[in-house]
Amino acid sequence: MTAHAAVGAPGARLRKLFRRHDDPAGTPRLSPLWTFVAWLATLAFFAPVAWMVLTSFHQEADAATNPPTPLAPLTLDQYQLLFGRDITPFLLNSAMASVISTLLVLALAVPTAYALSIKPVEKWTDVMFFFLSTKFLPAIAALLPVYMIVKEVGMLDNVWTLIVLYTAMNLPIAVWMMRSFLAEVPKEILEAAEVDGANLPTVLLRIVAPVAMPGLAATSLICFIFSWNEFMFAVNLTATQASTAPVFLVGFITNEGLFLARLCAAATLVSLPVLIAGFAAQDKLVRGLSLGAVK
């Protein structure tokens, strides 16, 4: 009995992972023909990613053949070469910039969202739309003054410069997302707790936190994704010390002999954290991308 359960558990978990979007029985089924079309389209979209990962495990000579040789022997050489060519500091800078900026965003956004939903200030919608409007300013228009100020104060090529910029870049998204999650905290329970004389920390810990936790996780994953992938500020404001993972890839822009397999390994490696974060947050991805407007 127990052995059976132990065998069944991982399968059940896998099934849950892939089936969780299935609605109750009411959803109509696709006909076999359309199922075929759906899978064909899916595989067509996924093919470049699959090709990238596959090529990253090939030798250079096998990667650059024409016609392609997908069945060539597999190797970890390209990944070893990458770490030999010091991709590590780039990954560490990326990790530092995205993790610290995400923590800062949460520290600023959670109290803001609280003041916009649970204990709303006057004209709180105006405040919301002010935050949102800053997201619509094209970053390129800020590049010049930011570059000049950063250069003036000697902060070029410094991870903290990126941290501040990424915090500002993600703050509106986080405020909107967190507000939409905190708005789900039932008002009656908050009022009841207040009537019972519960103090603020108790209310936050016992009532707000349980409802807001999944939202907090989703918000941090979204902020992490955007910071990790950011390129324009990273490439223009860093040189040698503070360069992040996307900047490492700049070296691959021009052809340099046989380098396709190594490029694919680098592309896979730098994309891996976001692929993991994105798959983990896929239920909440759309809510973050639409700034909480779509659930």
Where in 38-97 is the site for other proteins (CB under 8 A)?
38-39, 41-43, 45-46, 48-49, 51-52, 55, 63-68
Question: How far is 247 from 30, CA to CA, in rounded Å?
Answer: 44
Q: Is 180 in the site for other proteins (CB under 8 A)?
A: yes
Query: Helices 260-280 and 282-289, interaxial angle, to 10°?
Result: 90
Structure tokens at 46: 């996924």
Q: How is residue 257 annotated by DSSP?
A: S
Distance CA 250, CA 244 (A): 11
Q: Is 278 in the site for other proteins (CB under 8 A)?
A: yes
Instruction: Pick the closer one to other proteins by CB: 5 or 25.
Output: 25
Nearer to other proteins, 171 or 207 (CB): 171
- For 103, counting Cβ atoms within 10 Å of its Cβ (0-12 exposed, 13-18 middle, 19+ buried), the class is middle
- Residue 170 interacting with other proteins (CB under 8 A): no
Contacting other proteins within 225-254 (CB under 8 A)? 225, 228-229, 231-232, 235-236, 245-246, 249-250, 252-253
In Å, what is the CA distance from 112 to each residue of 37, 115, 174, 200?
A: 46, 5, 10, 16
With binding defined as CB under 8 A, does residue 162 bind other proteins?
Answer: no
What does the alpha-carbon distance between residue 194 and residue 290 come to, in Å, rounded to a whole number?
34
- Do residues 177 and 222 touch, judged by C-beta distance below 8 A? yes
User: Which range in 5-13, 77-85, 203-211, 271-279 contacts other proteins by CB under 8 A?
Assistant: 271-279
Side-chain half-sphere of 238: how many Cα atoms within 13 Å? 27
148 binds other proteins (CB under 8 A): yes
Q: Which residue has the tokens 């918000």?
A: 219
Token pair recorded at residue 91: 């990954």
Minimum separation from the CB atom of position 3 to other proteins (A): 28
Angle between helix axes 124-135 and 88-117 (nearest 10 degrees) is 160
What token pair was written down for 221?
């994953």
- Size of site (CB under 8 A) for other proteins: 113
Smaller CB separation from other proteins, 9 or 224: 224
Q: What is the smallest separation between the CB atom of 1 and other proteins, expressed in angstroms? A: 29
Q: Output the smallest distance, CB 280 to other proteins, in A.
A: 11
Q: How far is the CB of 149 from other proteins (least distance, A)?
A: 7
Residues from 207 through 226 that contact other proteins (CB under 8 A):
225
Site residues for other proteins, window 13-32 (CB under 8 A)? 17-23, 26-30
CB of 223 to other proteins, least distance (A): 13
Smallest distance from other proteins to CB 231, Å: 5
What minimum distance in Å lies between the beta carbon of 37 and other proteins?
7
Q: Nearest distance from residue 68's CB to other proteins, in Å?
A: 4
Burial class, 77, CB count within 10 angstroms (exposed 0-12 / middle 13-18 / buried 19+):
middle
Instruction: Kindly list the distances between the CA atom of residue 66 and the CA atoms of 56, 62, 158, 253, 256, in Å, as whole numbers in the listed order.
Output: 17, 9, 43, 21, 18
In the region spanning residues 118 to 147, those forming contacts with other proteins, defined by CB under 8 A, are 119-122, 125, 127-147
- Which residue in the set 114, 159, 177, 218 belongs to the binding site for other proteins (CB under 8 A)? 114
